[in-house]
A and B are shown apart, each in its own frame.
Chain A
Amino acid sequence: MKALFKPQVLGAGFLLAAAGALALYGQPDLEQKWEFMAPEYASRLEYREVYIDPAELLHLMNDDYIELLIYDVRDERDWNIFHLVDSERIDLADLPSQRKRLEGLSEMGVVVVVSNDEILATRAWKQLMALAKPNVYILEGGINHWLNVYGIVDDEHQGHDTASLARPDGTLRHPFKLALGARHAAARPDEHRVPQRRYTAKVKLLKKVVKAGGCG
């Protein structure tokens, strides 16, 4: 009995108890982690610092110096109907698989998340921030807004009407006659031929902080 109260036995018992409790408690998932991070980063959403105009995204798509990664988090049906050139479709649940890729982005790396409106993209933005804090932005108004700006209305196969952005519900509100995917003319319009838009540039390149440490 006396042996049980030896300091090393008590210490070992404490370590085991702390480790066992940790195994039961678990580590935060992305949503929980975002809750922890929200006090520091939620203002970027609140003040719309990370919502970029379609014209700014188009400019990024044409800038060869930018390592641009466009995540399209819509469902496969909408993706097949229309998506931006060089964008990648990914489900929200699969975002954690992108961790290493995001961590490997250079200082010129910019990530843009798109959805039909901003609802899914904003959720994805939070998860990406919790995952790897990349330099990530959201397409303002989503694909519906993009098509309002760059959609071509006089083509029989591609034509569509302007969608209302007033009540975003997460759906693609442009009626398409064909599912053209990235072959649609608006998937990557010529930056120099489209009407020029005034916008406030929000994308800033991040200086990478070198993490250091280790033991000799």
Chain B
Amino acid sequence: MAPFDLVALLGVTGSYLVYLGIGFGFGFILESSGFGDSRKLAAQFYFRELRVLKVMFTAIVVAMLLVFWASALGLLDYDEIMVKETWLWPGIVGGLIMGVGFILGGYCPGTSLVSVATLKVDGMFFLLGHVVGVLAFGESVGYINEFWNSSYMGRFILPELLGLDTGVVVLLVVCLALVMFLGFGWIQRIIYGRGDPE
């Protein structure tokens, strides 16, 4: 039953090769989907181009279905998968900061790495700022320690929040993604008189 201990199965070198392969595939898909271009990334916030949004949410929905179908069939122990724990208010504030940074800078931390791989100068500066920001946070977090550790909720996932079965929540998220694709496409056509190229 997955997840497997890759180091035990393949050894350190073997597991690193698997990580390398996954990283290569991830980077390849991100770059080919336009995640390495800040103009395309930023354009989604103005409904000019929705490709990034569609790729991201399709990936989320497909991964979610694979994970929970694997769990339902006994192929994967979902409880053994790492899920970020929730600190509600710090998470909300952090999300806002990251969202503003994403719109202003055109990248999130991961996509800035993709852009650096294709030698985009704006990505390099974004990544440099990111590293400096990380260092600054590390030096200053002691001043906001109380807030930083507040509203801890542990491993808190949507089925717990909504009080629904996991399968029902998965169905709702898939519907949400599809409605969002249609709705944003509709907004795009109203504002710009065209949709994304098919």
Chain A interface residues toward B at CB < 8 A:
6, 8, 11-12, 15-16, 18-20, 22-28, 32-33, 35-37, 40, 99-100, 103-104, 131-133, 209, 211-216
Q: Is B178 an interface residue (CB 8 A)?
A: yes
CB distance from A100 to the nearest CB of B (A): 5
The chain A residue with its CB closest to the CB of B168 is: A23
Chain A's interface: helix, strand, loop or mixed, by majority?
helix
Q: Given A12-B178, A19-B174, are A26 and B72 also a contact pair (CB < 8 Å)?
A: yes
Is B84 a contact of A100 with CB atoms below 8 Å? Answer: no
Partner of A28, one of B72, B82, B84, B181: B72
Number of cross-chain contacts by CB at 8 Å: 88
Closest beta carbon of chain A to B49's beta carbon, Å:
16
* Residues of chain A within 8 A of B175, CB atoms compared: 16, 19
Q: A36-B1, A40-B1 are in contact. Are A211 and B65 (CB under 8 A)?
A: no
Q: 24 interchain pairs (CB within 8 A)?
A: A8-B198, A15-B62, A15-B65, A15-B178, A16-B171, A16-B174, A18-B69, A19-B174, A19-B175, A20-B171, A22-B65, A22-B68, A22-B72, A27-B72, A27-B165, A28-B72, A28-B74, A36-B1, A36-B77, A37-B77, A100-B154, A104-B154, A132-B79, A214-B84
Pair B109/A216 contact, Cβ less than 8 Å: yes
- B interface secondary structure, majority: helix
Once the chains are docked, how many angstroms separate the CA of A19 from the CA of B66? 10
- Choose among A18, A28, A37 the residue with the greatest number of B CB atoms under 10 Å from its CB: A18
- For B177, list chain A residues within 8 Å (CB): 15
Nearest Cβ on chain B to A130's Cβ, whole angstroms: 9
Question: Do the beta carbons of B167 and A24 come within 8 Å of each other?
Answer: yes
A133 CA to B68 CA, complexed, in Å: 19
Please, how many angstroms separate the alpha-carbon atoms of A28 and B77 in the complex? 10
B110 at the interface (CB under 8 A from A): yes
